[in-house]
Amino acid sequence: MKELLPRERFARAVRHEKVDRVPLLYRMKSEAKEKIARVYGVTKTGTGMKHNPELELRLGNDAIIYQIGINAQFSHRHIEIGETWYNHFGVGYGKSGLQGRTAEEHELFTKTQEFWGPAKVVPENFPNHHPITSLEELKNYTWPDPADPALLDPIKSLLDEYQDEYFIIVDLSSTLIEAAYAHLVGTQNFFLMLFDQPELIDGVLDGLTEYYTQLGKNVIDLGIDMIRVGDDIGAQQSMMISPAQWRELAKPRFQYMFDEFRKSNSEIFIKLHSCGDYSPIIGDMIELGVDLSGLMQPTGGNKNQVELKSKFGDDIAFIGGFDVQRLLPRGQVEQVRNGVCEVMKNLATGGGYIFSPSHYILADVPIQNIFTMLEAQRDFGTYGKYPLN
């Protein structure tokens, strides 16, 4: 088969059409990106709202993914120790690792960091102020502007510069349940209020649905290829909430959202993402008309990739499935290579698959494992060759 343009390769794989090789999509958090960029001599390493795709394209990405949801800003920006930074949703974020520590304690922290050499623990930014914890706060809450030019303008430039060659994805994560528990309401609060004040949860989810539907439509109108909706409802061993409760809380809202997206562009590709185990609702994703499901972290019910592929693989395309919890950061080179081969065998056979680690590449991944993954994906990701013959 003749070599396809990256954007064709990606779109064809999502449509389960024949491709020359398995398309790729790598994403990195800033520390990992800087580490890998040094090897390639790439200097533009922006992430989040300042995303620069140069390095990802060097690694072989067929698509460019640009994030504008509630996660886009906090996790990629520098927050000072002790500072609380507020985003456009009024959610406050602080930094872990060093919070409220004295200079002496800071030194101790640095000392323990050195223990692991290059695989440093990177202090994470984390929500520490949730703006909607009562009906009163919900009533007075002002939702952000879904037509904010600060969100939309960078997408126009990306489209102008790259869409001829690459497939353009805009990422709205986190969108619904996750945006509510992790950001607006607070996790434990959210779970208790499902029982104590269901009207509060309904109000928050309705507000998010409305905001993200409008934002998504605005983005689709710019001419992007795929919209990514991210909503973490998977824990390690199972889902966080019951599949039945997800069908009650999330499914009708996503149905409305996706129907609206398709009114803006009936051809728009839709990707729905969750971390952890979301295997019980893959059938529901198909019913919602989701085109691409990921990132398939092999935990809990996601572990049996062969079974998932045979059960659902004809009706939905998959992305991910390559373990980032243990294999990629801590596996030996040979294990990483075999792991890539295994995932290709399990998920890429018969098409409808995009190779990706099952989450961002983080700073703890040794550089040799990244190169091993890149090499293995070239060796095992070509159709007509082992293991895809």
Partner 1 sequence: MMQLDTQFFDYEGPEEPELMIPEGWEDRAPAGWEWETLWEAVETGDHIYTDERVREAISLNIDPRVILDDGLFPGFNLQADRFSAQVIFIPEMLISARAMKAGLALIRPLLAAQAEKPVGTFVIGTVLGDMHDIGQSIVTIMLENAGFNVINLGTDVHPDRFIETAQKESADLVGFSALLSTTVYYQKVTIEEFLNAGHRDKVKILVGGAPTTQDWADECGADGWGKDAVDAVKLALKLVETPRAAWN
**Does 363 engage in binding with partner 1 (CB under 8 A)?**
yes
Q: Which is nearer to partner 1, 311 or 385 (CB)?
A: 311
Q: How far is the CB of 363 from partner 1 (least distance, A)?
A: 6
- List Cβ neighbours of 172 (8 Å cut-off, separation of 6 or more): 68, 69, 212, 215, 216, 219, 227, 228, 229, 230
Query: Within positions 171 to 190, which residues make up the interface with partner 1, using CB under 8 A?
Result: 187-188
| Residues 215/143, Cβ–Cβ less than 8 Å | no
Smallest separation, CB 57 to partner 1 (Å): 25
Supply the Cα-derived Rg of the chain in whole angstroms.
21
- What's the helix, strand, coil split of the chain in %, to 5? 45, 15, 40
Judged by CB under 8 A, the stretch of 63-71, 112-120, 141-149, 375-383 that binds partner 1 is 112-120
Q: For residue 174, give the nearest of 64, 91, 79 by alpha carbon.
A: 91
Choose which of 23, 230, 276, 320 interacts with partner 1 (CB under 8 A): 276
Q: Which stretch binds partner 1 (CB under 8 A): 205-213, 214-222, 238-246, 332-340?
A: 238-246
> What are the C-alpha distances in Å from 138 to residues 196, 201, 214, 359?
15, 10, 19, 32
To 10 degrees, the CA torsion angle through 19, 22, 25, 26?
-160
Q: What is the DSSP string of 357-384?
A: BSS-B-TTS-HHHHHHHHHHHHHH-BTT
Residues 192, 183: Cα–Cα separation, whole Å: 15
The residue among 49 and 122 lying less far from partner 1, judged by its C-beta, is 122
With binding defined as CB under 8 A, does residue 163 bind partner 1?
no
Work out how close the CB of 370 gets to partner 1 at its nearest, in angstroms, rounded to a whole number. 14
Stretch touching partner 1 by CB under 8 A, among 76-84, 152-160, 172-180, 318-326: 318-326
Q: How far is the CB of 219 from partner 1 (least distance, A)?
A: 28
Q: Which range of residues in 10-18, 75-83, 323-331, 370-378 is near partner 1 by CB under 8 A?
A: 323-331
- Sheet of 125-129: strands edge to edge? 85-86, 92-95, 125-129
The one among 23, 69, 92, 280 contacting partner 1 by CB under 8 A: 280
Under rule CB under 8 A, residue 194 binds partner 1: yes
Residue 105 sits in the site that holds partner 1 (CB under 8 A): yes
Q: How far apart are CA 248 and CA 304, in angstroms?
A: 27
Q: Which residues bind partner 1 (CB under 8 A)?
A: 96-97, 99, 101, 105, 108-109, 112, 115-116, 119, 121-124, 126, 128, 187-188, 191-192, 194-195, 235-243, 245, 276, 279-280, 283, 286-287, 299, 301, 311, 314-315, 324-326, 329-330, 362-364
